[in-house]
Homo-oligomer: A and B are copies of this chain.
Amino acid sequence: MAPWSALSADELQLLVSAFWSAGGSRHHLADRLGYSKSKTNALIAGLVGQGLLAETGVQPSNGGRRPESLRLNDQLGVVVAVDIGVTSLHVAVFKPDLSLLGEHAEPIDVREQGPGAVLPRVRALMQDLLQRCGASKRQVLCIGIGVPGPVNFQIGQLVNPPLMPGWEGFSLRDDLREDYAAPVFVDNDVNLMAFGELWRLQRSLQNFVVIKVGTGIGCGIVCHGEVYRGATGSAGDVGHICVDQAGPRCYCGNLGCVEAMAAGPAIVRGAVEAAQSGRSPVLAEMLRTQGQLEAVDVAAACRSGDAAASDIVQQSGRLIGQMLASVVNFFNPSHVFLGGGITRMGPLLLAAVRQSVYQRSLALSTRHLEVQYTPLGEQAGVIGAAVLAMHETLRAPGAAR
């Protein structure tokens, strides 16, 4: 049971609001909730007394009495966040207000390694990290996990994950239940990035998308201020939007999917071709010394002024932008945040994406549109996992896992 499971509806709503407004003042909270000053003060006093909220430091004042900033009490416990990518594993431990206590990242390959290999590693990393942070298993409030494939959120299982065939129907939640009493929440990695941005923005934006470009391409959607999962949980599957009717065949069976033409593997394929054909001396030299090429090599070659590498990056950006133009025409978001490994490709890619979006979308949809790399960067996934876990346990504190 969560430490806040016996609260009244009003108290709980204030706690949820304090979590989402990350260090906001009591005036700010009263505003958000539409409560009177005196009601807010009484609720806060009660929550501070119960050890759920803490007042920390002072915030810049607008002239009046200096407002204290409110946070969830550190003593409540810790949040564990796991971001399982196709080629990377990232584990982090946070305080309840999402300040980072410790993290660890390492390469994996979920296409080759099934849950039988990855999960024991996840459990070991969680245990090590908790120890390093001086926290026990019993202090874990909740656990959030992101995976690079479609998830049935209700039951915490992967459904038909194209990049993770061995994980079909596998329940991460059941697996962790053996070790932890805390509730476990599993979601698609891009949905988690959307949760992360929503929290960073303190819910100030209502309608935006987050695009993750790495081994695959996916999209997290925020609609009416809430993360949107679609009618059957597969919303945001933009990697298989067609950008060229005469393009190469994707593993999904169709031609010209943006994922097959613009994601990490396509960039590497283009780089190897450019190296072998002699079009890029820089990439050829890298291939000779390293024995293989990665997307970051293309970025480096690009920075060194290599024309063929620039072409590859711009082509990828142009195709991603073309897909995004369809998304923008349909959804009219206020912001598009780009995340995942692609952010390491630098400003040339972002410029190509922007150019393509602005050219192919209607003026009315792009007049106030912002396209930028996600400010949370490489931490977007673990922060999002922690936000999801806290949000869900605060929302239904008495619910079984």
Name A residues whose Cβ lies closer than 8 Å to a Cβ of B. Answer: 150, 159-160, 206-208, 219, 221, 223-224, 226, 228-238, 240-242, 244-245, 252, 254, 322-323, 325-327, 329-334, 359-365, 367-369
Give the residue of B224, B233, B362 whose beta carbon is less than 8 angstroms from that of A223.
B224
Whether the Cβ atoms of B245 and A334 lie closer than 8 Å is no
Whether the Cβ atoms of B362 and A234 lie closer than 8 Å is yes
* Bound CA–CA A150/B230 (angstroms): 25
* Bound CA–CA A235/B362 (angstroms): 11
Give the residue of B159, B238, B364 whose beta carbon is less than 8 angstroms from that of A234.
B364
Give the residue of B221, B223, B364 whose beta carbon is less than 8 angstroms from that of A232.
B364
Give the residue of B208, B229, B232, B241 whose beta carbon is less than 8 angstroms from that of A368.
B232
Whether the Cβ atoms of B237 and A332 lie closer than 8 Å is yes
Whether the Cβ atoms of B219 and A362 lie closer than 8 Å is no
Whether the Cβ atoms of A330 and B231 lie closer than 8 Å is no
For A241, list chain B residues within 8 Å (CB).
325-326, 329-330
Given A234-B365, A331-B331: 19 more A-B contacts, CB < 8 Å: A160-B364, A208-B231, A221-B330, A224-B226, A229-B332, A230-B333, A231-B333, A231-B368, A232-B368, A234-B332, A235-B331, A235-B332, A237-B329, A237-B364, A240-B360, A240-B361, A240-B362, A242-B325, A330-B331
* Bound CA–CA A226/B369 (angstroms): 23
For A219, list chain B residues within 8 Å (CB).
330
Smallest CB–CB gap between A253 and chain B, Å?
A: 9
* Bound CA–CA A244/B243 (angstroms): 9
* Bound CA–CA A241/B327 (angstroms): 9
Smallest CB–CB gap between A121 and chain B, Å?
A: 28
Task: Name the residue of chain B whose CB is nearest to the CB of A236.
Answer: B330
Smallest CB–CB gap between A207 and chain B, Å?
A: 5
For A160, list chain B residues within 8 Å (CB).
363-364
**CB contact under 8 A between A237 and B333, given known A207-B231, A223-B223:** no
The 8 closest A-B pairs by CB, nearest first: A230-B332, A231-B334, A235-B332, A234-B364, A241-B326, A207-B231, A223-B223, A326-B326
For A242, list chain B residues within 8 Å (CB).
322, 325-326, 360
Whether the Cβ atoms of B228 and A224 lie closer than 8 Å is yes
For A359, list chain B residues within 8 Å (CB).
254
Task: Name the residue of chain B whose CB is nearest to the CB of A207.
Answer: B231
Q: Can you list 10 A-B pairs, Cβ within 8 angstroms, ordered by A?
A: A150-B364, A207-B228, A232-B365, A234-B332, A237-B362, A240-B360, A244-B245, A326-B326, A327-B330, A330-B331
Whether the Cβ atoms of A238 and B206 lie closer than 8 Å is no
Smallest CB–CB gap between A351 and chain B, Å?
A: 20
**CB contact under 8 A between A237 and B365, given known A224-B223, A244-B245, A332-B230:** yes
Whether the Cβ atoms of B332 and A252 lie closer than 8 Å is no
Whether the Cβ atoms of A332 and B223 lie closer than 8 Å is no
Task: Name the residue of chain B whose CB is nearest to the CB of A233.
Answer: B332
Give the residue of B223, B232, B235 whose beta carbon is less than 8 angstroms from that of A367.
B232
Give the residue of B252, B327, B360 whose beta carbon is less than 8 angstroms from that of A362.
B252
For A224, list chain B residues within 8 Å (CB).
223-224, 226, 228
For A228, list chain B residues within 8 Å (CB).
207, 223-224
**CB contact under 8 A between A231 and B206, given known A224-B226, A362-B240, A364-B150:** yes
* Bound CA–CA A361/B231 (angstroms): 14
Task: Name the residue of chain B whose CB is nearest to the CB of A247.
Answer: B245
Whether the Cβ atoms of B150 and A330 lie closer than 8 Å is no
For A240, list chain B residues within 8 Å (CB).
329, 360-362
